[in-house]
Amino acid sequence: MSESKVVIIGAGLAGSLLVIYLAKRGIAVDVYEARGDMRLEEVAAGRSINLALSDRGIAALREVGMDEYILAEAVPMYGRMIHSVAGETKLLPYSGRKGEYINSVSRAGLNVALINEAEKYPGVRFHFDQRCIYFDCAMGEAKFSSGTKVTGDTLIATDGAGSSVRNAMLHGGVERFNFAQTWLEHGYKELHIPRLHHLHERVGSSELFAIEPNALHIWPRHKFMMIALPNFDGSFTCTLFLAHKNPPVHAGGSSFEALATKESLLNFFNKEFPDAVPLMPTLTDDFFTNPTGNLGTIKCWPWNAGGRALLLGDAAHAVVPFYGQGMNCAFEDVRVLGQLIAKHHTEWKTVYKEYGELRKINADAIADMAEENFYEMRDAVADPVFVRKRELETKLEQTYPDYFSKYSMVTFREDMPYSLAKEKGNAQDRLLMSICGEIENVMEIDLENVHEQITNLKY
Ligand SMILES: Cc1cc2nc3c(=O)[nH]c(=O)nc-3n(C[C@H](O)[C@H](O)[C@H](O)COP(=O)(O)OP(=O)(O)OC[C@H]3O[C@@H](n4cnc5c(N)ncnc54)[C@H](O)[C@@H]3O)c2cc1C
């Protein structure tokens, strides 16, 4: 056992994976989580909330031997299934290469699996129902609403986008602490498509999934969109992204504020998502019961208070969910931190300094790309030039092993920093959009010539 004792605030996705990394090095860890033990609590109505796990996250799980266990109950998603208003569907593959896909996993299932694994190590203790309310950056002491006060050799805050430790750093704990929070005008609401046998009488099929299971479904409608990710049990979790308040009339669309009655809700859904409505028997209940979430980006700096505390995961860099990378990035944070602990052991000041230098540029890059991808998912996937560009990219990926689209670099290249994926990907996107804007059919394109232009790009 190492002499070092680490305090972790927040046993969410990043916090519970981090515990395993530290415990594997023989470091004693005390974890304080605001919520109760989720293993003892019923998940609301048995409904699963899911999220997309991809290569960066898988790489971090692999290092602690958890990848296969988690993937065993994941649903592979090979592409985006676009639903038009008329109910037509089109699959846009995520990659032209076999084996490059993303995985829909249960958020609660993943969290519970990580906590269970972490608890197997001696020296690991979870303290539930312990909300951190303050961190004394000078003394290194965390205070909890229960009155408990805790000091370790260092503290790592994985308490998510509303981090209490970050607040303490902002409000006088760390000199010249930079903080920026940008809200989207859109919020989100989770809805539900049950597995098919619940709808049996209605649709008359014995298949388990009501729509294609191996895809991330998108209903892009410019000013708003709905997506659906499959769950292992055959159901889908849908997320409606919509403006909180009424957008200007000329902008069209609706808003959560405008959907105040059952009638307005059903009119909106029947008009915009007619193919989904028959699959959503609990739509009105879900809509009026489930909370409307906010979406925002948080950037801050520095991430550490000397060697006494470090912010990691959403606590350091919350991003909007449109690249499906928030958790994957947080898991990559943990992996990089693990490598630095292997290098510098428990010299926390050195570990945190090098960690920030390595990660800040990449966290900023994925935050920017995630915002950009909102517009891509909402608007561009319904744009014929963009659809041609995706077809061209698929052909390039099928033909040239060294070609990766921006999406593939972000999602499938655990060896490539987000910052490089952003620069290279943006340069490629500009070139390919301009090529596809001038043709009607990708079959007309001289693939070799395009590949050469990409190889010669400066970025
Ligand atoms: C709608 C939506 C969809 C998403 N989809 C994806 C996706 O497909 N793929 C992906 O990679 N990412 C996705 N994300 C992002 C992902 O959810 C986050 O990036 C990820 O959960 C960050 O992990 P974390 O551990 O840093 O924070 P969290 O998971 O938020 O965990 C924070 C933990 O800290 C606890 N806590 C909070 N405050 C305190 C306190 N004061 N004291 C003690 N404990 C506290 C919380 O209870 C929680 O357990 C999505 C996010 C949203 C909102």
| Mean of pLDDT values over 199-206 | 50
In the DSSP assignment, the letter for residue 247 is P
Whose C-alpha lies nearest to ligand 1, atom 41?
Answer: 132
The token duo for 301 is 């700096």
Q: How far, in Å, CA of 301 to CA of 309, rounded?
A: 13
Would you say residue 50 has pLDDT above 50?
yes
For ligand 1, say whether the CB of 239 is within 6 Å of any of its atoms: yes
Would you say residue 167 has pLDDT above 70?
yes
Range with the poorest average pLDDT among 157-166, 265-274, 379-388: 379-388
The token duo for 100 is 């490059």
H-type alpha helices, 122-281: 164-168, 200-203, 262-272
What are the Cα distances from residue 403, in Å, to 75, 96, 419? Answer: 26, 10, 17
Whose C-alpha lies nearest to ligand 1, atom 52?
Answer: 321
- With both helix axes pointing from N to C terminus, report the angle between 326-344 and 55-63 in degrees, rounded to the nearest 10: 40
- With both helix axes pointing from N to C terminus, report the angle between 107-118 and 13-24 in degrees, rounded to the nearest 10: 20
The token duo for 192 is 């539900």
| Mean of pLDDT values over 119-136 | 98
pLDDT, position 159: 98
Residue 30 CA, ligand 1 centroid: distance in Å: 19
- Percent of the chain scoring above 90 in pLDDT: 87
Question: Which are the contacts of 73, defined by CB distance < 8 A and separation ≥ 6?
Answer: 105, 106, 109, 232
Decide which of 312 and 222 is more confident: 312
pLDDT, position 250: 53
Would you say residue 246 has pLDDT above 90?
no
| Mean of pLDDT values over 138-151 | 97
| Mean of pLDDT values over 333-342 | 98
pLDDT, position 111: 97
pLDDT, position 62: 98
| Mean of pLDDT values over 348-352 | 98
For ligand 1, say whether the CB of 159 is within 6 Å of any of its atoms: yes
Task: Provide the pLDDT confidence category of residue 2 given band limits of 50, 70 and 90.
Answer: low
pLDDT, position 343: 98
Cα dihedral sign for 41, 43, 44, 46?
negative
Question: Is residue 346 a contact partner of residue 352, using CB atoms and an 8 Å limit?
Answer: no
Substitution site in 159, 191, 229 for ligand 1 pocket (most atoms within 8 Å of beta carbon): 159
Task: Provide the pLDDT confidence category of residue 86 given band limits of 50, 70 and 90.
Answer: very high
What are the Cα distances from residue 22, in Å, to 1, 16, 62, 309, 334? Answer: 11, 10, 15, 15, 10
| Mean of pLDDT values over 308-320 | 98
Would you say residue 356 has pLDDT above 90?
yes
| Mean of pLDDT values over 264-288 | 97
What are the Cα distances from residue 404, in Å, to 56, 100, 179, 413? Answer: 16, 11, 34, 9
What are the Cα distances from residue 1, in Å, to 23, 32, 72? Answer: 9, 21, 32
| Ordered domains of the chain (ranges, CATH) | 5-75+104-181+295-364 (3.50.50.60), 183-293 (no CATH), 383-455 (no CATH)
- The mean predicted confidence, pLDDT, of the chain is 93
Decide which of 452 and 47 is more confident: 452
Of residues 314, 321, 340, 20, the one with CA closest to residue 158: 314
Closest atom of ligand 1 relative to the 51 alpha carbon? 8
Closest atom of ligand 1 relative to the 159 alpha carbon? 34
| Mean of pLDDT values over 163-173 | 96
Substitution site in 21, 327, 334 for ligand 1 pocket (most atoms within 8 Å of beta carbon): 327
pLDDT, position 204: 45
Strand segments, DSSP code E, in 306-398 are 309-311
Question: Which are the contacts of 325, defined by CB distance < 8 A and separation ≥ 6?
Answer: 54, 56, 319, 366, 369, 370, 410, 411, 418
Question: Is residue 131 a contact partner of residue 34, using CB atoms and an 8 Å limit?
Answer: yes
Which run of H or of E encompasses 448?
helix 447-455
Question: Is residue 105 a contact partner of residue 68, using CB atoms and an 8 Å limit?
Answer: no
Residue 236 CA, ligand 1 centroid: distance in Å: 20
Closest atom of ligand 1 relative to the 57 alpha carbon? 11
pLDDT, position 45: 46
Task: Provide the pLDDT confidence category of residue 459 given band limits of 50, 70 and 90.
Answer: confident
For ligand 1, say whether the CB of 35 is within 6 Å of any of its atoms: yes
Strand partners, 179: 300
Task: Provide the pLDDT confidence category of residue 228 given band limits of 50, 70 and 90.
Answer: very high
Would you say residue 206 has pLDDT above 80?
no
For ligand 1, say whether the CB of 132 is within 6 Å of any of its atoms: yes
For ligand 1, say whether the CB of 15 is within 6 Å of any of its atoms: yes
pLDDT, position 199: 55
Exposure b/e, 24-57, CB count within 10 A at least 16 = b = eeebbbbbbbbeeebeeeeeeeebbbbbbbbbbb
Question: Is residue 211 a contact partner of residue 279, using CB atoms and an 8 Å limit?
Answer: yes
Would you say residue 44 has pLDDT above 60?
no
